[in-house]
């Protein structure tokens, strides 16, 4: 026979688990839903806030210095930034390492001009459900998540270009 205390404890534990589940999914990344807002400091020292970019298409790329495909993808992202920035497209590279010196070393010699941000607490990459390196999220002019790409293989640039061109035409 269950005591009143055990019954209350089971009910409270169930409620707590439900609350935690709901809270953990409030900001979960979903297609066609608003991209979770954040502010991060860039390599150049300025703070960039995502919601202040409304009206632009944002290619948000999460990367790490130890990621080989990330190194291959960086020049591709730079090409997109150079080619499409006059059409309202911006690329943001978000380093997810807690110690950002490795990320800074990784960038040497890559000649990138798009903003590089540092998520040393991994709070932003957690909200964006980053499970693979790299992860690229394309956000439309209204701030909605429209495309998510996990990982990178040669040829993905065609997918990115198709997505960007579609959003530019909207």
Low-confidence ranges of the chain (pLDDT < 70): 1-28
* Cis geometry, peptide bond prior to residue 23 (ω within 30 degrees of 0): no
Q: Specify the pLDDT at position 24.
A: 36
**Rounded to whole angstroms, how far apart are CA atoms 170 and 32?**
14
**pTM for this predicted structure:** 0.82
Q: Specify the pLDDT at position 21.
A: 33
> What pairs with residue 61 in β-bridges?
93, 136
From the list 76, 77, 59, the residue with the least C-alpha distance to 148 is 59
**Rounded to whole angstroms, how far apart are CA atoms 119 and 152?**
20
Report how far Cα 90 is from the mean position of its chain's Cα atoms: 13
Domain extents in the chain: 48-169
Second CATH level (architecture) for the domain 48-169:
3-Layer(aba) Sandwich (3.40)
Q: Specify the pLDDT at position 9.
A: 43
**Rounded to whole angstroms, how far apart are CA atoms 136 and 59?**
7
Q: Which residue has the tokens 């040497």?
A: 108
pLDDT tens figures, 58-104: 999 999 999 999 999 999 999 999 999 999 999 999 999 988 899 99
């Amino acid at each position: 026979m269950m005591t009143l205390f055990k019954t209350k404890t089971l009910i409270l534990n169930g409620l707590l688990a439900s609350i935690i589940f709901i809270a953990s999914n409030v900001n979960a990344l979903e297609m066609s839903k608003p991209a979770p807002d954040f502010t991060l400091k860039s390599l150049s020292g300025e703070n960039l806030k995502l919601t202040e970019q409304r009206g632009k298409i944002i290619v948000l790329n999460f990367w790490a210095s130890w990621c080989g495909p990330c190194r291959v993808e960086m020049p591709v992202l730079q090409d997109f930034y150079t080619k499409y920035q006059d059409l309202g497209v911006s690329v943001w590279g978000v380093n997810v390492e807690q110690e950002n010196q490795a990320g800074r070393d990784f960038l040497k010699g890559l000649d990138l001009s798009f903003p590089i941000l540092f998520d040393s607490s991994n709070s932003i990459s957690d909200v964006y459900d980053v499970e693979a390196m790299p992860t690229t999220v394309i956000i439309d002019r209204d701030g909605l998540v429209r495309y998510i790409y996990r990982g990178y293989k040669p040829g993905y640039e065609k997918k990115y270009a198709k997505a960007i061109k579609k959003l530019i035409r909207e």
